Amino acid sequence: MATYTYETIPQKPGEQPVRFEIRQSMLDDPLEAHPETGAPVRRVITGGFGFMSRSKPGGNRSGGAHQHGAGCCGGFR
């Protein structure tokens, strides 16, 4: 299960969106309405932690310092 962030879509001028998080399967369709109020919602894209791995000393094929974290490619051993 993943945790997704949603926010309500303001319907009136000056109305502020309300953010909330909900756990869903990645196979579930995105919500279209707030589960409690029924207000229309949209999914908010937020930064993630990414994948982490440990390289063995001297195992870096790029020859330089290898950065781990979001956007890291390879390095899984």
Condensed to tens digits (0 to 9), the pLDDT of residues 2-51 reads 999 999 999 999 999 999 999 999 999 999 999 999 999 999 998 867 66
- Whether this model's pTM surpasses 0.85: no
The confidence score (pLDDT) of residue 61 equals 54
Give Cα 54 distance to the centre of its chain: 22
Q: What is the DSSP letter of 36?
A: T
Question: Which residue is it, tokens 């094929």?
Answer: 61
Per-residue buried b or exposed e for 10-49, using 16+ beta carbons within 10 Å of the residue's own CB: eeeeeeeeeeeebebeeeeeebeebeeeeeebeeeeeeee
